[in-house]
Amino acid sequence: MLSIVSDSTCGLTREEAAELGVDVVPMSYSIDSSLRSEGFVGENGDYAELLDSGHHIATQAVRTSTFEAVFRRHLDEGDDVLCVTISSRLSGAYRSAEDAASLVQSPRLAVLDSWVTAGALEFLLRRARALADGGCSLDEIVDDLTELRGGTRIVFSVPDMEALSRSGRLGAIRRAVATKLNRYPVMALQEGGIVKLSDGRGARGMAAEMVDRVPGETSDLVISHFGPRGDEAREVFLAARTRFPEARIRVKDGGPVLAEHLGVGAVGLAWA
């Protein structure tokens, strides 16, 4: 049997994690020296108010020792273990998982950098479970996901560039105020790093830019909102429903850890 491990940015509810057999290891965030663990989707309370009112906010990747304990438990139970983490260019979780794997040293354990997060990471986890249920070996699943991660997409927009700039994850993207002249930047993750694609005028224009990036044959999408579900998420949903009337479209809370780096009010759209 395959046990799947991921971090809490994967965007799963408690019920979904149980259904897929995914052990979700919490990321952490601190607000004014008060340390909190990120929970499953829908179990993080009013984190937006806490983030907005805090003066000193930071996030922490999963510790190596935590991953090690989870890996050993599943291996001791006789399972193979696949750990798929948030992009290594966004968080230190992948490095922690790799370090833990080097301590465990088991051929029945594999760690994969997803290059993505949120809904896009969820799609990879669902694929891993489907392959395992179909009888694929651990190596076959890793090979499949390694190829698939390049075609699993997420685009997103932020209310302003302050949070991303503060996080140090913008790379070569010029720091600017996103909503200046009512323009929203549309960005994507490319091999794990953030790239800018275009700008949208107003929330509706931003939504159209995001949905236009989705291939025409797509049948499953996840919209992530960070903080309360606002006009931006609503416009993305309406644009997606208009273009993909038969598709499965789920709207989910993206959680406090990503909200801290993207900014409350950010919105993402993922597909596989």
Q: Which two tokens stand for residue 168?
A: 């140090």
Which residues have C-beta within 8 Å of that of residue 2, sequence separation ≥ 6?
21, 79, 80, 81, 82, 128, 129, 132, 138, 141
Give whole-number Cα distances, 84 to 118, 146, 261, in Å: 12, 10, 20
pLDDT digits (tens, 9 = 90+) for 12-23: 999 999 999 999
Residues 73 and 29 in one domain: yes
Residues 108 and 29 in one domain: yes
The residue range of the domain holding 223 is 153-271
Total domain count, the chain: 2
Residues 121 and 165 in one domain: no
Residues 171 and 141 in one domain: no
pLDDT digits (tens, 9 = 90+) for 119-171: 999 999 999 999 999 999 999 999 999 999 998 899 999 987 766 666 555 55
pLDDT digits (tens, 9 = 90+) for 172-225: 455 444 445 578 999 999 999 999 999 999 999 999 999 999 999 999 999 999
pLDDT digits (tens, 9 = 90+) for 82-113: 999 999 999 999 999 999 999 999 999 999 99
Based on the number of CB atoms within 10 Å of its own CB, is 258 exposed (0-12), middle (13-18) or buried (19 or more)? Answer: buried
* Confidence (pLDDT) at 182: 78
Question: Could you give the 3-state DSSP secondary structure of residue 228?
Answer: coil
Q: How far apart are CA 36 and CA 115, in angstroms?
A: 25
Residues 46 and 174 in one domain: no
* Confidence (pLDDT) at 177: 43
Owner of token pair 């993305």: 236
pTM of this prediction?
Answer: 0.92
* Confidence (pLDDT) at 176: 46
Question: Could you give the 3-state DSSP secondary structure of residue 221?
Answer: strand
